[in-house]
Structure 1
Amino acid sequence: MNWKTVKLDIMESGVAVLTMNRPETMNSVNDQFCADVQAACKEASENDAVKVLVITGAGKAWSSGGDISLLAKIKDPISAKEIYDASGELVTAIYEIKKPVIAALNGVVAGASVAACMACDLIIASEKARMGFTFMQLAFCPDSGASHFLIQKVGYHKALELLWFGKILNAEEAEKLGFFNKVVPHEECLPEAIRWAEALALQPLMTVGLDKKLLREAVRNDYYQQTELEAMYQVLTWSSEDFKEGCAAFAEKRKPVFKNR
């Protein structure tokens, strides 16, 4: 785990903190950064000691999007597609983690990194956080799945407003639009995200994972498809030891102790 641009710290509680660590460039995305984030996500995903992942940034930014040195490599459609794919693979690496992923949004997030942020399951934001839909400034369309997440969050008309006018949202505006779960004082951003993560780590993680899958499928399923999927997942949870423990704890008026099986 000798990565140059990220750090991964795994706690005894089962919470892992992935820190994007290019503060001198506001954690902007270049080739090395893409490779390191993907590798760290793979480690967190496959390591049984990790139950919940928190992603944050070093310095004043979560991530400011594409590094200008990366964008300068665009010479033709082929190189443009290669760069787009690298950025998209970074977001996909976050999105495909089956465990809960919480963004501790410590500062600015802009460009393609907005998609990486929205690929997380929960977002705890500092009062100093800013969310910038700055593609238009470079005459770029959104990439890396940003349009997919954006229209789900705010709908067609608001999404176009944000894109066409390059809107930069402050923490309060982003929370009102539903981008953030919670805004906290700056110094509480990472500690609060870790508290949420530690609380999740004590939940029945099989059910947590199935909830994540259910809500993602709900976006494209109709009512009948979704209720069938719910029924299938209910059967899976009913057969688990954690379900039996939950019922026993409820009857005995005590807190359940889940073992994730």
Structure 2
Amino acid sequence: MNLKTVNLDIMATGVAVLTFNRPETMNSVNDQLCLDVKAACKEAAENDQVKVLVITGAGKGWSSGGDITSLASMKDPISAKETYDGSGELVTAIYELKKPVIAALNGVVAGASVAACLACDLIIASERARMGFTFMQLAFCPDSGASHFLFQKVGYHKALELLWFGKILDAEEAEKLGLFNKVVPHEECLSEAIRWAEKLALQPLMTVELDKKLMREAGKNNYYQQTELEALYQVLTWSSEDFKEGCAAFAEKRKPVFKNR
């Protein structure tokens, strides 16, 4: 793949690591990065070797958000819309991936890249990680789905507090708010994310995918709609070979060996 601003490394364990690679700009988002992330996510989606995707950043940060040079060069509403659409498509590529996506948050994430981070299914953060809702500093509203993810995570009142006052959360604060799954020593951030990913790669991936769909729908379904969806997905998993293997392993008191069938 001809990727210019990201690296995609596929490991024998079924884990792929996508690294934003513009460390000189704190991995800020420009047009090329948007194209490269979409291409890398497409490869991860279509490559049967890839079971789980881990996303991290080169250098000191995960991503500082939109490239200020690109933002300042926009001349009219049409060019501005094109720029924002590109950023939104980057986030959508991550969000729509059916396979599990884990962010290894190695440093600062701010602006539009907050949406990309929160679009991941799990977030392992370095103790040095910072999450900045810095739109107000530029007199900007949030973009790329940041307001959607933030509201889903922390609710109306806290979301507005973070946006209006441009709050920059340290790792401990973000973990307490439920924005991060786990905070680890800085040097263990990527290895811990890969460890989680390798553990997930051994799970029955059909069930993992359906669990992801269930959690996406739970936020908008009522009790009756959600239980009906659960019943449908249980029938699908009951029909799988992995379900039979799970039952056999339980009866034989051994670890199951799932084959994703």
TM over 0.5: yes
5+ residue gaps, structure 2, are none
Residue 80 of structure 1 deviates from its aligned partner by 1.3
**8 Å contact kept, 1:91–1:116:** yes
3-state DSSP of counterpart to 2:109: strand
3-state DSSP of counterpart to 1:257: coil
Residue 76 of structure 1 deviates from its aligned partner by 1.7
Residue identity matched to 1:245: E
Residue 73 of structure 1 deviates from its aligned partner by 2.5
Which residue is equivalent to 2:232? 232
Distance 2:74 2:150 in 1: 25
**8 Å contact kept, 1:102–1:120:** yes
Residue 55 of structure 1 deviates from its aligned partner by 0.2
Distance 1:155 1:16 in 2: 32
Task: Give the aligned CA root-mean-square deviation in angstroms.
Answer: 0.5
3-state DSSP of counterpart to 1:199: helix
Distance 1:84 1:2 in 2: 24
Distance 1:157 1:137 in 2: 20
Distance 1:74 1:161 in 2: 29
1:54-110 deviation per Cα after TM superposition (whole angstroms, max 9, x unaligned): 000000010000001110232221111111100000000000000000000000000
Distance 1:16 1:78 in 2: 36
Residue identity matched to 2:83: I
Aligned pair 1:45/2:45, yes or no? yes
How do 1:122-137 and structure 2 match up within 5 A? 122-137=122-137
Residue identity matched to 2:136: M
Which residue is equivalent to 1:220? 220
Write out the 4+ residue segments of structure 1 that deviate beyond 4 Å after TM superposition.
none
Distance 2:23 2:112 in 1: 17
Which residue is equivalent to 1:10? 10
Distance 1:188 1:220 in 2: 36
3-state DSSP of counterpart to 1:88: helix
Distance 1:184 1:231 in 2: 37
How do 1:105-116 and structure 2 match up within 5 A? 105-116=105-116
Of 64-73 and 233-242, the range deviating more from structure 2: 64-73
Distance 2:228 2:76 in 1: 47
Residue 12 of structure 1 deviates from its aligned partner by 0.5
Which residue is equivalent to 1:165? 165
Distance 2:83 2:40 in 1: 20
Aligned pair 1:190/2:187, yes or no? no
3-state DSSP of counterpart to 1:227: helix
Residue identity matched to 2:109: V
Residue 135 of structure 1 deviates from its aligned partner by 0.2
Which residue is equivalent to 2:93? 93
**8 Å contact kept, 1:17–1:54:** yes
Aligned residues: 261
Which residue is equivalent to 2:64? 64
Distance 1:172 1:70 in 2: 32
Distance 1:88 1:245 in 2: 40
